[in-house]
Structure 1
Amino acid sequence: MKWLDDWFQLKLLEIGDYVLTLGELFGFLLIIAVTLVLSRWLSRALTKVVGSRSRISPSQLYTFTRLMSYSILAIGFLMALASLGVSFDRMLLVAGALGVGIGFGLQNIANNFVSGIIILFEKSLRVGDFVELESGLLGEVKEINIRSTLLKTMDNADILVPNSEFINGRVNNWTLKDDERRFSIPFGVAYGSDTHKVIEIVAAAARELPLTFEKGDRQTFVVMKEFGDSSLNFALSVWVRGEAIKRPGLVKSEYLLAINKALVSNGIEIPFPQRDLHLRSSSIPHG
Structure 2
Amino acid sequence: MQTEPSNEVAAIVDSLKGAIHEKVVVNWLWPAIIVGGAVVLGLVIERVILARLRKLADRTEWQGDEIIIDALRGIITTLLVIIGLFFASYSLPIHPSWLALLHKVLKVLLILCGTVALSRMAVGFARLSSVGAEGEIKSASILVYIARASVYLIGVLIILQSLGVSITPLLTALGVGGLAVALALQDTLSNLFAGIHVLASRKVRPGDYIRLETGQEGNVVDISWRTTTIKAPANHLIIVPNTRVASSIVLDFDQPDRETIVVIGLGVGYDSDLGKVERVTIDVAKAVLTEIDGGVPTFEPVVRFTEFGDYAIKFNVILRSRQFGDQFLLKHEFIRRIHERYCKEGIVIPYPVREIVTRGDKS
TM-score range, shorter chain: 0.5 to 0.7
Alignment partner, residue 139 of structure 1: 218
SS of the residue corresponding to residue 87 of structure 1 reads helix
Deviation string 1:27-46 (CA, Å, 9 cap, x unpaired) is xxxxxxx9xxx79x948x95
Q: Which residue of 1 aligns with 2:44?
A: none
Q: Deviation per CA, 1:188-232: give whole Å up to 9, x if none.
A: 1222222221111111111101344254xx421111111112221
Question: Judging changes above 3 Å, is the alpha-carbon distance between structure 1 residues 46 and 283 closer, same or farther for their aligned structure 2 residues?
Answer: closer
Q: Where in structure 1 are there 5+ consecutive unaligned residues? A: 1-33, 51-55
Q: 1:280 to 1:122 in 2, by over 3 A?
A: closer
TM-score, normalisation: structure 1: 0.67
Q: CA 1:281/1:117 → structure 2, altered by over 3 Å: closer, same or farther?
A: closer
Would you identify which runs of 4 or more consecutive aligned residues in structure 1 move more than 6 Å?
none
- For 2:136, give the aligned amino acid: P
What is the aligned counterpart of 1:159 among 214, 238, 246? 238
Provide the secondary structure at the position in 2 that maps to 1:278. coil
The aligned runs of 1:1-150 (5 Å cut-off) are: 42=120, 46=124, 57-59=135-137, 62=139, 67-74=143-150, 76=152, 87-102=170-185, 106-107=186-187, 109-150=188-229
In the TM superposition, 1:158-197 aligns within 5 A as 158-197=237-276
Q: Which has the higher contact order (CA 8 A, sep 6+)?
A: 1
Give 3-state SS (helix, strand or coil) of 2:230's partner. strand
Letter of the 1:67 partner, please give it: L
Mapping of residues 199-278 of structure 1, within 5 Å: 199-209=278-288, 210=291, 211-215=294-298, 218-241=299-322, 244-278=323-357
| DSSP-derived class of the 1:191 partner | coil
Cα deviation, residue 279, structure 1: 4.4
- Paired residues of 2:221 and 2:230 also in contact (CA < 8 A): yes
> CA offsets, 1:61-102, max 9 Å, x none?
756x8535313225657859x99x983332222122123224
SS at match of 2:324: helix
Number of residue pairs matched? 228
Distance 1:255 1:164 in 2: 41
Contact 2:222–2:230, Cα closer than 8 Å, also in 1:
yes
Check the 8 A contact 2:194/2:242 in 1, yes or no.
yes
Q: Indicate the structure with greater helix content.
A: 2
Q: Does the Cα contact within 8 Å between 2:192 and 2:226 map onto a contact in 1? A: yes
Please list every run of 5 or more consecutive structure 2 residues that lacks an aligned counterpart in the other structure. 1-111, 129-133
| Counterpart-to-counterpart distance in 1, 2:360 and 2:253 | 59
Compute the displacement of 1:283 (Å). 4.8
Deviations 1:228-261, CA, capped at 9 Å, x for gaps: 12221110011111xx522443333232223222
Instruction: State the alpha-carbon separation in 1 of the partners of residues 339 and 194 from structure 2.
Output: 46
Distance 1:93 1:147 in 2: 23
Higher alpha-carbon deviation: 228-237 or 261-270: 261-270
Could you tell me how far apart the structure 1 residues matched to 2:360 and 2:269 are?
Answer: 31
Q: Which amino acid aligns with 1:94?
A: G
Contact 1:245 1:251 in 2 (8 A): no
Shift of 1:165: 2.6
C-alpha separation in 2, matches of 1:273 and 1:95: 68
Tell me which structure has the larger Cα radius of gyration: 2
How far apart are 1:181 and its partner, in Å? 1.4
Partner of 2:342: helix, strand, or coil? helix
Give the 3 Å change call, closer, same or farther, for CA 229–221 of structure 1 in structure 2. Answer: same
Residue 321 of structure 2 contacts residue 327 of structure 2 at CA under 8 Å; is this kept in 1? no
User: What amino acid sits opposite 1:71 in the alignment?
Assistant: A
